[in-house]
Structures are given as C-alpha cells and as structure tokens.
Amino acid sequence: MNRLLSNARVLITGGAGFIGSNLVESMLEAGNDVVCLDNFSTGRRENLQQFFKHGRFRLIEGDIRNYSDCEKAVKDIDYVFHQAALGSVPRSIKDPVSATDVNIGGFVKVLFAAKEARVRRFIYAASSSTYGDHPDLPKVEDRIGKPLSPYGITKYADELFASNFASTYNIDVVGLRYFNVFGRRQDPNGAYAAIIPKFILQLLRGEHPVINGDGTITRDFTHVDNVINANHLAALVEGKEALNQVYNIACGESTSINKLFNIIRESLGRFEKGILKIEPLYGPERAGDIKHSLASIQKASRLLGYTPITGIEDGLHATVRWLRENF
C-alpha cells in the first residue's frame, strides 16, 4: 500500500503543469491543503479547472523569478514540492538565457524563501539530463558526466544549490531525478511536446511520426504515477541517511524509441485498425540528446522505500486512453 502525505500544508510550484497538476490532485485527495504557484508560461489552466472550487486549494498566479511571489507562496507552508521549470533540451539550446533564469534563478529564490519561512522540507524535481556524457549503465546517483545541454546544466546547478543550502542553512532537501516522465495531462501540442503524447496524437490524426535518429536510442520511460508516489515518499522519509540526497525515479527498464512506437501503435490499433499500417519516418538525431538512459533505482528503493507502481506498457495503454478521450 502506498504511503501518502496527509494533513499538511503544501506548496506545489508549477502546479498547472503536467507533473505538477497530477501532484496537486494527489495531495488534495490525500487530505492536504494545497497552494499552487504558476505563471502559466507552460502550464495550462485546464489542468487545474477541477480544483478551483475545492475548499483546500488555492492558486497564486505568480512567477518564481519574482522573490515576493515566492515569499507569498511559502507563507505557513510545511512542504514545498518544486516542479516549476522550463523543460526541454531543444528549448534550452534555442534559449539558454531563459532556461538559466527560470531553472537556476527561480529555483534559488524559491529555495531561499522556503528556508526563510522555515518549511519542514523542500522536495524538488531534478533530472536524468544531469548524467550527461557519463557512459555507465545503469545510471547511479553519484556517478555523473558533463551535461550535454543548457537544460542539463541548470538541473545540475540546482542540485549543487540544494546541497549547499542543506549544509549552510540546515534545511531538509530531497532531489528526485525524473527519467522521461509520461502520462495523463501531458500536452501533445507545441514545438517541445514530449515524444509519447506527440506520437499518440500524430497517430490518431493518421500522420507519420518522425523518430530522431534510427530509433535505437533508449530511455527509461516512467509513468507519472511513479513520480507522484516518489514525492509522497520523499516528504515522509525520516533519518539523516535518507535526507539531503538525490534519487533516481524511474522504472529501471530500458525501452528503445522503435519499441515505444510499436507499443503505442498497437495500443491505438485496438481502437482504430488503420493505425496499425502507419509507419514512422526517420530524421536526424537531436543535438544535446544522450544515446542511452537507464536508471538504477536501488538507492530510492533502499532509502525511500520506492517501488514503481506502473510499468511502461500499462502506463502507455493508460496514456493512450486518456489522450483519446481528451484530444
């Protein structure tokens, strides 16, 4: 049975986003008071629509780059779940200035405001992009290389700031290195749409999805339910050994893009047989992408009690159903 944080006052930055809105929903269902801070630069109001009339939900429309907004958001908060960021490797390559401003500058402002407000714990979204060019598989938390994109650099810098704040200001922090998260509420539209919802929507439209490279690139795709579970565990864990750490949050399974496409096509083919005949197109590899990614989740299992609750195929089938019903 999953352990859930309850009866607490929580702040979720980026709560209108894909992961953030799922976290908002889970925290409300578990009986917490939830404050969401979002400027809707990438988050969607539709993701929060069902919560606006909830008596324990409050939205602060603000920007993590504005320190006064951060101060307002952390007031009387027990736990901060920092999800706000400008994601996407390609976007960071196109605009490294904004990526740095939001992902590092905004991160430090929220973290410092949380320290000043004496929150119990600061849990933040780290990223598998931190591993960069390190060749080892599976990825182990204490062995990283040089990040291959501005986005990866910003997420690594966040880890360094979190570690420094923990030792300098005695604030409890936990970083969760997410690996290729997917699931309900992930936006399939836009130039920087993630590969899974983008493939699903394109196939539903009868289009031929484009695979970057030859499709042998592998990723550790992680359903959003696993990430939500990990955030609850990070808030509840006790003991010095488990705190002020960074953890891989993944399934611990490697899936190629070609296999991913085939699973999605087969899943959609159950509803529309014609989709089974659609073949992908192949294009150039993307700059800044690592070739292979696979996480070791032993540390998270040992110290957080983390175990994936939704596997890749079940997660993909659930995501297909959600996107068919909502797009």
What is the set of active-site residues?
Answer: 151
Burial of 264 by CB count in 10 Å (0-12 exposed, 13-18 middle, 19+ buried)? Answer: buried
Question: Measuring CA to CA, how many Å separate 126 from each of 98, 206, 220, 258, 296?
Answer: 18, 35, 15, 27, 15
Q: What is the identity of the amino acid at 42? A: T
Main-chain dihedrals φ then ψ at residue 112, nearest 5 degrees: -70, -40
Q: Which token pair is 69?
A: 């907004």
CA dist 4 and 258 (Å) reads: 36
CA dist 249 and 85 (Å) reads: 18
Q: What is the identity of the amino acid at 325? A: E
Q: What is the identity of the amino acid at 45? A: R
Long-range contact pairs involving 60-68 (C-beta distance under 8 Å, separation at least 24) = 60/35, 60/36, 62/37, 62/38, 63/39, 63/106, 64/13, 64/37, 64/39, 64/102, 64/106, 64/107, 64/109, 64/110, 65/101, 65/102, 65/105, 65/106, 65/109, 66/109, 67/109, 67/112, 67/113
Distance linking the first and last C-alpha atoms of the chain: 33
Which H or E run includes 194? none
Q: Quick one: how many helices (H) and strands (E) in the chain? A: 11, 13
Contact 39, 63 (CB under 8 A): yes
